[in-house]
Structure 1
Amino acid sequence: MEDGGGAPTPMMAQYIEIKAANPDCLLFYRMGDFYELFFDDAAVAAKALGIALTRRGKHQGADIPMAGVPVVSADDYLAKLIALGHRVAVCEQVEDPAEARKRGGKSVVRRDVVRLVTPGTITEEALLEPGRPNHLMALARVGGAGTASFALAYADLSTGAFFVQDSAPERLLADIRAVEPAEIVVADTLFHDEAMRPLFAGLGRLARPEPAALFDSATAEARLCRFYEVSTLAGFGAFGRAELAAAAGLLAYLTRTQFAARPALARPARVEAGGAMLIDPATRASLELTRSVAGRREGSLLGAIDRSVTGPGSRLLAARLARPLTDPRAIGLRQDSVGFLVGDPGLCRSLRALLKGLPDAERSLSRLALGRGGPRDLSAVGSFLGRAREAAAVLGEAAPPAELGAAVAAMRALPEALEAELATMLADNPPLLKRDGGFVAPGAIAALDEARGLRDESRRVIAGLQGAYAEETGVRSLKIKHNNVLGYFIEVGEAQAGALMGTEEAKRRFFHRQTMANCMRFSTDELAGLEGRIAEAAGEALRLELAAFDRLAAAVVAAQEPIRAAAEAAAVIDVSAALADLALAEDWTRPDVDDGLAFRIVAGRHPVVEAALKAGAQASFVANDCDLSPPTRGAKAGAIWLVTGPNMGGKSTFLRQNAIIAVLAQAGAFVPAAEARIGVVDRLFSRVGASDDLAEGRSTFMVEMVETAAILNQAGPRSLVILDEIGRGTSTYDGLSIAFASVEHLHEVNRCRALFATHFHEMTALSARLSRLSNATMRVKEWEGDVVFLHEVRAGTADRSYGIQVAKLAGLPARVVERARHVLRELERAGEGSRRTAFIDDLPLFSAAAVRQETAAAKAPTAPPPALEALKALDPDQMSPRDALEALYRLKGLLAEKAG
């Protein structure tokens, strides 16, 4: 917008100045009840949100594009923008309009950005998934090439959780994917380092550069001390320079995005290196631990087993699956909790009923600390305090094991005085926003009750005045109305106005305020006096409520540490009860996890596949055993199973289910098996399925080889490796050679526990010379030319792949199936070497005549074999044993004649 001289109006000048300070954000500029966007921001938002793109004024002679969203529904639009990877700067009025008017008629109300909304810093309930954390991560590097150390810091602003851990170049991506951050900040110098380009290319829009000064390790400790208002970090734990740099960088970014608001972050907890099973990104995706291949929760392991009844419980279960433990003692403590509730189903049900719908106190606490909370957040905290104390009482009476006992203690430490005050002060079903009041309970504050009484009584008086004035003037249609400009006024139709101004007495009583197109408005001294009292009473009532809100919010924030500890404890109880309920309902068992190299599963099942079969009322899942334990006592390496069998026989399911059982066991859950003994797996590798990476110019086979190389270069004796069909993306001999050499390397160099599925039947000969390798195969049954998959694993080898039968089941045209069978017979007859080559050279590709001939031959009626005719003629009931023996010899003779 421009004034007459072509210069931008004061309002547009203000907008341009604020936008210039936030060039990488969409600017939500507050104008009354709308957030407006202008120029390019308007075009981007209109396209992303599907809203109208309009025009408002001109700038430098051109129309100014404009788009807007209502303030009351801004969260919905923010959610869409954040999901698309945008950052939004929220610009609010920071001055009372009355103050602006004092500076002159054309003065613009002061506005400023009060918050940057980014994917990793959202706290609004409408923008968050209840069962999924929303982590902001910072990556820091300290030192030069060859001596550099890396660290990650990540925090969930919506709950206050804060963690740091060291890392290394070869596992950075695995450590990042384990957390699944919504946003990653990194020093711009590191972001543009050529050596780091593959990492940041793989992370895509997740990573964003920030000034390197935010990650300065020399000042990091001092900045952390200032934030937590301590003189030293010694009480927090021992952190390396890179860890301090990452933590300080994360806090600096939060300060830049939250402005004056101080996040209620817990003290940073150090994640110990080696404390969790390392799962690389390819394995995580292959096993679909928390997200399916399509990126959804449905179809994942988490989606299949999550029976938690609270948002924090779901988040904790997801975290446990993402980072299974490697300490048998810590695993045992979790298993003790689950086992305790498995042993007392009644207690388990009671706890789940108490916890169901428990408010998410962590997120309410965070919003209150940031100044974004409302009355419902206070109510949520109050409800949480009461119900958590009740759950602690129920569980505490049962003498629970260590982990659950610690949870009970944390919930018993909640401040009772705060619980009582919130219960007394807050009304039932309070409003979402505090700005209009109505959330303090009647009787809680005497002065507030008095102000409300004056306000409400005055409104009743006004209603009575309307009837009195109508009676006095004889104008039955007379109304008393209100607006923000005139306040309370009397409104009558223009034809009836004479009754209020036709005599001197009427003019003295009713004084004219405004003439409209078809009505006139008046007031009286009495009405004006009442309006003042109403406004004063309403203002006083709101002032008292807002003061009460601020006092209660401050009390909640002051008690944040015990509240957060109790909320974490409630999540532990929820997860333990959920896993116990799962174990009871699905017949899962407690695994024996130790520090050995055993891996013995009896009647193991795939939980996701089994759940899908049950949901579809299909056949029951076929359980299978697996034993990769060292074949001899004292051996320093586990076994390898070479699994053969047809496509659709169940090889991939068998491989994955054993890896998933290891994850569940080390996450502290019971497992879908009759028995399980697992020596701790320190690294899990899975190379199952086919995928490509066209953006990086990598074919399916290249991706397969890259992932296989990562396994062969990193797996150790405590690793568990599952590999499926290595070498199938190239020529038969190349693929066989690669698969052959890979198995040898796993056996001799990696010395790990492994399942290796293959179609190369020639590889089964390896069992004769590799002492820890055994052959296993998927059972099938042939019936009248078709194949029946039994999905059972047994010792031995498969002699066929049954690919043509599978192709038939898939719906290939009958002509193609018959032709394939013909070619297969000819290839098998030709054997190896020059005969096979000559046959292929002479093979008529889809020769119509050959196909017709073969099809006709297949359809032509044939005489029954003599042996079959002779067999039909026999009557076993009339035969003596000698007759039967002679008949058998005759049948054999007939078969020999046919073969001859």
Structure 2
Amino acid sequence: MSVQSAQKAGPADAKVTPMMAQYIEIKTANPDSLLFYRMGDFYELFFEDAEVAARALGITLTKRGKHQGEDIPMCGVPVHAADDYLQKLIALGHRVSVCEQTEDPAEAKKRGSKSVVRRDVVRLVTPGTITEDRLLDAGANNFLAALTRLRGSSLGGDAVYGLAWVDMSTGSFQVCETDDQRLASDIVQISPRELILADNLLQEKDFRQTLEQAGAALSPVPRAYFDSATATDKLAQYFGVKTLDGFGVFSRAELSAASGILSYIEKTQLGERPPLDPPARQSGNGRMLIDPATRSNLELSRTLSGEKQGSLLATIDKTVTGSGSRLLASRLAAPLLDPEAISKRQDAVEFFFENEIMREGLRQTLKGAPDMARSLSRIALHRGGPRDVLAIATGLRAVRTAFEQTSKSAEYPAEIAAARTALGNAPHDLGAELDRAIKEDPPLLKRDGGFIASGYDENLDELRALRDESRKVIAKLQADYGEELGLRSLKIKHNSVLGWFIEAPTAQTEKMVADPGRFIHRQTMAGAMRFTTTELADLESKIASAGERALAIEMEIFDRLADAIVESGDLIKAAAHGLGVLDVSAALAKLAQEDGYVRPAIDGSRAFHITGGRHPVVERALKTSGGDAFVANDADLGPRTETDAGSIWLITGPNMAGKSTFLRQNALIAVMAQMGAFVPAYSAHIGIVDRLFSRVGAADDLARGRSTFMVEMVETAAILNQASDRSLVILDEIGRGTATFDGLSIAWASIEHLHEINKSRALFATHYHELTVLSAKLDRLSNATVSVKEWNGDVIFLHEIVPGAADRSYGIQVAKLAGLPPSVVERSKQVLSQLEEQDRSSPAENLIDELPLFATLQPAQPKTTRCVIEPALEELDRLNPDDMTPREALEALYMLKSSRLKNSDPIKN
């Protein structure tokens, strides 16, 4: 049964209980999400929501009563474990509306015995708006992004796109303008968990497929969210300013996207405003452009299987804080193009490289620093608890210590100096206050109480003493009365009728009876009398309400501390960022020292000279496994004269020899250099790479109807159409996905295009040895090969890149190493020998003379050759050498040779 049918139920239908009527009303207002409906200690789900959640979470589907004659499906999750279930649902792409009780059940009873406790949705949980620690990856940003498209572009072309992205857990807020060529790359660089856009855009099939490649949950919203006419006013109102001039100059597309993301945040947070930074404009011209295919091929942040382990990010990440890990990931995702800005980052790394003692002491401090930015965000959204306040206190303590630890040097690089300024400006007085206020191990939820430290508030301590030590308080009062009246037999007792009372033997109560104004008679018993006093009555009242009043005082203190934290939010966020900068710089310095990395020279030239370059991920894997040392190799792709464009290396050699590793390592070195890190090499000089392109590996895209070869050609087309003379291009085995002559022709023409049109620095690995003749006419093309040695019929890979061209592919030797059956290996050798013999009559050198440079290739017609391998083998199989004389054997050989031209079938080569 659906909620819609339940809503349409008429008067003749079965009665709807008040609780179910309330549920249906709230669910109707939130149709696009699963409704977590609070009932006591559980969140319950009903109707289709229950069926969906039960399947997704693997929990039992039950039922609760009937509606319209049918059972109502129901399932539920405990409130205390809700975060775990939310995490699973969000990971599966679901959105969840959290409906809480908004009044005390006692208040509801005052309206009548059948009154339902008021409930309302307090929050809409989506992949991009979560802030809970248990739902977040500490080392990754959780971006919510908004995309808008406007006609007419300041970048040129028919359309301009605005992108805005926010991390609600830290307050980061950025915008940029992009175009059709950069759109996919920019979205993948941001890597949002959720992408919101106008619903009409998702109706365009090709556009939707492009967006789905980013892997983000797509959330369509009305076009009114992106109204650029009101965008400026909306942003100014959100940040409480009259003009946005103080934040920078924004395009119409950027303002539209920023307005859309704020509208979505207001919708999902139901009035709560996360403490966002003012929007910062990110220029697309300031960072290296890396398209989605290249990011995937190079496994920058994830491996091809989707795992973080084994990626470049996992290999170089030695940070010890969440903010540092996120900052490192963002720098890796968007390498810089400004040599001066890169140099500032390198200066910070070099400072910690040279100051090891300071670095290690600082890293020990940073290990104990909580994630202040995320705790601050939860506190500002009224989702924080005592542990978040403690995190701010502990974090500010680490800030103070880090500031003191880095005060031993008189001169600092610009990045470290700016970070220290932020640490010094942190609200240290607030930190001291929080240290005094919060216990070391507070409960998770503030409603549990017991998180304010003893000695912080006198009244709270007194109430706790009454609550926790009422027996001691009563015993002390009893001793005081007994000493005053001289009655050792006086007792203070309690029962459910009288409450607390004073009891003494009747014969000893003269003084009490004589002072009725103080000792009020309550009851006469056989042999004893009972009294009370104003003091005892007050104490009884305090004891009865001490627990509630103690919790109320703790709540007041919490709210006061939370307000103080929010008021100092900007300073706290700046200090948290400062810790992140110190963490990243120290971590990269430690990486460089442990793994032998060097500071690369970065400038505006077209140089690309690497001496002793290594692949950071493969090298780490070899060290971890105890394997052989990584073989370092040089690369020089820079211009040969000042006026030249970059060089192209054409690399040949067998599979498994290390061609792909060599290609990837040079691309990774360029990325690491421009993110501001040291690089795995003996030395490196790199002129700024504006765009990085990589076409390595083979994969299909069946969802979009693309074969492996089609994917290869699409990616190659993107490279040849977009690469510039400042780009770095990595191409591996272009043309291998189709017929030999077709593939050779495509590879040939692609090299010529790179050389003559793109003029990019490039590494081009191939098995087409025929391409090596191009070096005779293309002056910036050099041949290189991976050296190997043969020993007893086997091939030994030396993994060294040396000048020259490979004379063979060693494919059969590699096949043997892979475990192909010996019979297949032997048969392959026979076929190869025959084919090579036929091919010697038409060497590739003839082709280079026949084709003018960058001419349109006319695919050669397949040659028809006479071959008698199968018939000859059949004849040979009939012969028995042991039964033949030498003369008979010789005659048989002549017979086979004679039948070769008569009985063979044509084989197309």
TM-score normalised by L of structure 1: 0.86
For residue 800 of structure 2, what is the aligned residue in structure 1? Answer: 792
d(CA) in 2 for partners of 1:854, 1:775 = 50
**1:178: how far off?**
0.4
Structure 1 residues 410-448: Cα deviation after superposition (integer angstroms, max 9, x where no partner):
100011221121111111211111001111111111111
d(CA) in 1 for partners of 2:437, 2:872 = 85
d(CA) in 2 for partners of 1:411, 1:273 = 30
* Structure 1 position 844 matched with structure 2 position 837: no
* Structure 1 position 559 matched with structure 2 position 568: yes
For residue 44 of structure 2, what is the aligned residue in structure 1? Answer: 36
d(CA) in 2 for partners of 1:792, 1:354 = 43
For residue 737 of structure 2, what is the aligned residue in structure 1? Answer: 729
SS of the equivalent of 1:735 reads helix
For residue 226 of structure 2, what is the aligned residue in structure 1? Answer: 215
Distance 1:840 1:130, change over 3 A: farther
Which of residues 386, 397, 404 is equivalent to 1:375? 386
SS of the equivalent of 2:711 reads helix
Which of residues 94, 98, 119 is equivalent to 2:102? 94
Structure 1 residues 565-617: Cα deviation after superposition (integer angstroms, max 9, x where no partner):
11111100000000000111111000000000000000000000000000000
* Structure 1 position 79 matched with structure 2 position 91: no
Is the Cα–Cα contact under 8 Å of residues 100 and 109 in structure 1 kept in the other structure? yes
| Paired residues for 1:13-412 under 5 Å | 13-143=21-151, 147-193=158-204, 196-203=207-214, 206-398=217-409, 399-412=411-424
Is the Cα–Cα contact under 8 Å of residues 368 and 398 in structure 2 kept in the other structure? no
Is the Cα–Cα contact under 8 Å of residues 783 and 803 in structure 2 kept in the other structure? yes
Which of residues 650, 665, 672 is equivalent to 1:664? 672
Is the Cα–Cα contact under 8 Å of residues 148 and 161 in structure 2 kept in the other structure? yes
d(CA) in 1 for partners of 2:781, 2:681 = 24
d(CA) in 1 for partners of 2:326, 2:471 = 49
d(CA) in 1 for partners of 2:611, 2:366 = 34
For residue 632 of structure 1, what is the aligned residue in structure 2? Answer: 641
d(CA) in 1 for partners of 2:100, 2:270 = 13
For residue 467 of structure 2, what is the aligned residue in structure 1? Answer: 455
Q: Which runs of 5+ in 1 are unaligned?
A: 466-479, 490-503, 511-525, 857-900
SS of the equivalent of 2:210 reads helix
**1:778: how far off?**
0.2
**1:850: how far off?**
7.0
Distance 1:529 1:123, change over 3 A: same
**1:201: how far off?**
4.2
* 2:796 aligned partner, one-letter code: V
For residue 471 of structure 1, what is the aligned residue in structure 2? Answer: none
d(CA) in 2 for partners of 1:645, 1:105 = 85
* 2:233 aligned partner, one-letter code: A
* Structure 1 position 750 matched with structure 2 position 776: no
**1:25: how far off?**
0.5
Distance 1:853 1:696, change over 3 A: farther
Is the Cα–Cα contact under 8 Å of residues 819 and 851 in structure 1 kept in the other structure? no
Distance 1:459 1:227, change over 3 A: farther
Counting matched residue pairs gives 810
SS of the equivalent of 1:151 reads strand
d(CA) in 1 for partners of 2:616, 2:610 = 14
For residue 554 of structure 2, what is the aligned residue in structure 1? Answer: 545
Is the Cα–Cα contact under 8 Å of residues 312 and 568 in structure 1 kept in the other structure? yes
d(CA) in 2 for partners of 1:341, 1:371 = 39
d(CA) in 1 for partners of 2:87, 2:206 = 34
| Paired residues for 1:417-566 under 5 Å | 417-458=429-470, 533-566=542-575
* 1:428 aligned partner, one-letter code: E
Distance 1:205 1:327, change over 3 A: closer
Is the Cα–Cα contact under 8 Å of residues 458 and 533 in structure 1 kept in the other structure? no
Which of residues 603, 612, 625 is equivalent to 1:594? 603
Distance 1:604 1:456, change over 3 A: same
**1:198: how far off?**
3.5
Is the Cα–Cα contact under 8 Å of residues 120 and 183 in structure 1 kept in the other structure? yes
Distance 1:128 1:854, change over 3 A: farther
d(CA) in 2 for partners of 1:403, 1:366 = 25
Is the Cα–Cα contact under 8 Å of residues 300 and 608 in structure 1 kept in the other structure? yes
Is the Cα–Cα contact under 8 Å of residues 452 and 554 in structure 2 kept in the other structure? yes
Distance 1:691 1:836, change over 3 A: closer
d(CA) in 2 for partners of 1:131, 1:603 = 31
d(CA) in 2 for partners of 1:207, 1:712 = 31
SS of the equivalent of 2:455 reads coil
SS of the equivalent of 1:435 reads helix
Distance 1:157 1:63, change over 3 A: same
Distance 1:849 1:162, change over 3 A: farther
d(CA) in 2 for partners of 1:282, 1:25 = 33
- CA RMSD, aligned part only? 3.0
d(CA) in 2 for partners of 1:846, 1:141 = 69
TM-score normalised by L of structure 2: 0.85
Is the Cα–Cα contact under 8 Å of residues 815 and 851 in structure 1 kept in the other structure? no
d(CA) in 2 for partners of 1:43, 1:209 = 24
Structure 1 residues 810-830: Cα deviation after superposition (integer angstroms, max 9, x where no partner):
111111111111111121223
**1:836: how far off?**
9.8
Is the Cα–Cα contact under 8 Å of residues 396 and 405 in structure 1 kept in the other structure? no
Q: Which runs of 5+ in 2 are unaligned?
A: 1-5, 478-493, 501-523, 843-860, 883-909
Distance 1:770 1:255, change over 3 A: same
* 2:870 aligned partner, one-letter code: P
Distance 1:42 1:505, change over 3 A: farther
**1:147: how far off?**
3.9
Structure 1 residues 58-89: Cα deviation after superposition (integer angstroms, max 9, x where no partner):
11111011110000010011111111111100
SS of the equivalent of 1:136 reads strand
For residue 8 of structure 1, what is the aligned residue in structure 2? Answer: 16
For residue 876 of structure 1, what is the aligned residue in structure 2? Answer: none
d(CA) in 1 for partners of 2:225, 2:878 = 76
Which of residues 416, 419, 422 is equivalent to 2:428? 416
Distance 1:610 1:846, change over 3 A: farther
Which of residues 762, 768, 783 is equivalent to 1:775? 783
